[in-house]
Structure formats: C-alpha cells, structure tokens
Chain A
Amino acid sequence: DGGITQSPKYLFRKEGQNVTLSCEQNLNHDAMYWYRQDPGQGLRLIYYSQIVNDFQKGDIAEGYSVSREKKESFPLTVTSAQKNPTAFYLCASRAGTLLGEKLFFGSGTQLSVL
C-alpha cells in the first residue's frame, strides 16, 4: 500500500542535542512538507520541498533544517537552536500536479525534551 511513513513514533531529545525525524513516501509525490502541531493550535509549516535538492522555509523554520536528496525522503533535523522543540511533527506530501490537491499525511512523531 502507498503511503507516508514517519519514524520514530516517539523521540526524546536531551539538552543541546540535534535529533532527526524520518519521513519516507512511496506515493511518487513531488511535494513534501513538515508541519508542527502544538496543543490548541493548528498546524504550522516548518519547511517544504517541491523537487529534489530544493526546499523552502515555512513560517517557523528557525531551529530546524531539512534535506531532499531523494524524491522519497524528506528528513527533518531539530537542532539545539530550537529552544522549544516539544511538539507533534507531521510530514505530508502532495502529487504537485494539480491545484486543490489534498495533502497526504504520515502518522506523526511526538518529540519531547528530557
């Protein structure tokens, strides 16, 4: 079955540590996204990528970094510069060919600070 796989499901970060969240899709989608979800707030865009080797900052990119070396993969690194990293992180993708297409979402990663 095609879909988006995020791992791990739960992740703990120590002070000063960088951690990487994995996102893999087998939908052959061009566009991929990372969102952050905090309690009582909607999803906020961190980064997105429309094609391999290209990505753009979203609304809250500070303290995060991404790469897009393969079409299928779009990992997110939460760096030590992100002072409030505790949140639920969702990866999404879109075929990228039509306006109004829906986003397909992964099952998310809950990141907590030790």
Chain B
Amino acid sequence: QQQVKQSPQSLIVQKGGISIINCAYENTAFDYFPWYQQFPGKGPALLIAIRPDVSEKKEGRFTISFNKSAKQFSLHIMDSQPGDSATYFCAALGSGNTGKLIFGQGTTLQVKP
C-alpha cells in the first residue's frame, strides 16, 4: 500500500508548547521518512528526515520518533513558536529507486502567541 496517513489535520498550540504530529505507513519497503514544512505560496521545504534503522533524530527543536514495528513516526516541535505556524507534511520515499515521495495529508499548525 503506497499510502502515508497523517494526523491531526490541524493543531493549535500555545507558544512554548510541544506540537506533535503523527504518521503511519503500511509499505515496509519505504526506507526514508522526511518531514516537510510548507508556508503559504511556497513549496515544501525539508525540515528533518530519518531512516528506519534509527529510533530518534533530533535537530534543534525538531525531533522525529520512529517506531519500525508499529510502522509509525512522529514529529515533535519543542518550544513551539509563532514562526513555526505552517503546514507540515510527513512523507516516505517510495520503493523502486525513482525518487518518488509519498506525502501524508498534511497538518496545519497554528502557534498562538
């Protein structure tokens, strides 16, 4: 199954809080899981990514947690800031070595001051 399911659809967090976005996949051939941030009128920009042989990756305030057995991964944004307000997409690199990315449905994050 070439799908990635993402939740929640939207999220409102107070400044300084933790934002958590979850994704699940079915295809065990996926081997790379990036998160993208998208601002209105712009293309997706790579935020952070993880391979399935690693359970966690942290870059600054952004952390990916990966549970290979459950086929789930999540993005945690610590100390959320109003500038983090954007749409976040999880994705998976499809099998077949063609560079095809399969995106989740997206989460619109609003961080209130």
A and B interact physically: no
